[in-house]
Amino acid sequence: MELSDERVLEELSLSGVSSSLISLADVVRKQSVGEFVYFRGLIEISNICNKNCFYCGLRKDNLNLKRYAMTEDEAVEIAVSMYRSGLTSLALQSGEVKSDRWVEKLVSIVRRIKEETKKIDIESGKEPEGAGITASFGELEKEHYEELFKAGAHRYLLRIESSNRELFYKLHPEDSNHSYENRIKCLEWLKEIGYQVGTGVLIGVPGQTEKDLLNDIRFFQSFDVDMVGMGPYIEHRNTPLYVWHRKEIESKGFYRRAYELTIKMIAITRIIMEDINMVASTALQSVPGCENSLEMGIIAGANVVMPTFTPPDVKSSYNIYNKRRNLSLKEMVERIEKAGYTPVLDRWGDPKHFLKREGKPSPV
């Protein structure tokens, strides 16, 4: 369904969230993707990162962060345990490291997870599909993406953070390691290779306008993405962005505005793009003072959630932003059911948008 630029800007500029907007998004969502909410078990393999993004707690120059990297066996064991418990779709995430040696490790993890979970299918008398795997390892070389795809990852999430080049460089250093053009190129490579491609933006960052957010949605459309993962900006205090904008970030209403804009962005994107997958992000669930944000994200049109299965001894070190909340799988299931939607743990839940474009059958 199309919405005019004027209508989108009007909704984004309103104080609060329009009930008519949410109602329309819910109608479109139920017609396009149903009332299902698909689960991805999230494993954060490493917080080591070679980037220096101004907003992120994993940035290379954050010397206060205790760094970790799981072994292959640790990551595979978590994934296999998750799969045996009935959660058949997972997401693998890490800080960005481009070295061949590191990528070889990631490829091996993906391959082993796929092989081990296929064995479980065979033991159970099922078609050996194995786990559905989303990868999110940042900007890599094209051959790295190809190797991960061949190993068994079929979805990839790479957030643009802002489609406005000028704002992008207020969030990232302007150097060879943080290139807007390279980010776009990586998204193009992912699509060429055959991934289900996801991107997204940071919402409510200082200096961002409603027009920027409108253009972000138009970027999703023009790139014809299959998945969108976007969430509110929550600060990490050991970052330049917080230092530069501390007064604004700590002002009354800052979090509320970021939360409301996120809900509106989810709703508008659902209405316009209809059958893509959208994540109710951990950041959305973590907004201070917004206790029902998971439910609101689902009602607004999100149909994917990602409970974290990173081990407790390192989970707190995957600290992109402060104030992170980690709802358990059980809590998410209960809250989604209470909101009137159907949690789905035992299906891949690939985006209908991708399946339609590729002419593939769409499972119920």
Binding residues for [4Fe-4S] cluster: 49, 53, 56
237 in Cβ contact with 322 (< 8 Å) = yes
CA pair distance 156, 154, nearest whole angstrom: 7
Question: Which residues are documented as binding site for S-adenosyl-L-methionine?
Answer: 161, 183
CA pair distance 325, 335, nearest whole angstrom: 15
296 three-state secondary structure? helix
The residue with tokens 């604004």 is 248
Closest by CA to 67, choosing from 75, 77, 59, is 59
Q: Which helix (H) or strand (E) holds 26?
A: helix 19-32
CA pair distance 165, 216, nearest whole angstrom: 11
CA pair distance 100, 201, nearest whole angstrom: 28
- Residue 190 buriedness (CB in 10 A; 0-12 / 13-18 / 19+): buried
Instruction: Count other Cβ atoms within 10 Å, centred on residue 293.
Output: 22
Tell me the backbone φ, ψ of residue 315, rounded to 5 degrees: -55, -40
43 three-state secondary structure? strand
Question: Which residues are documented as binding site?
Answer: 49, 53, 56, 161, 183
Pull the structure tokens for residue 225.
């993405």
Q: What is the DSSP string of 128-189?
A: ----EEEEE--S--HHHHHHHHHHT--EEE---B-S-HHHHHHHS-SBTTB-HHHHHHHHHH
CA pair distance 179, 307, nearest whole angstrom: 31
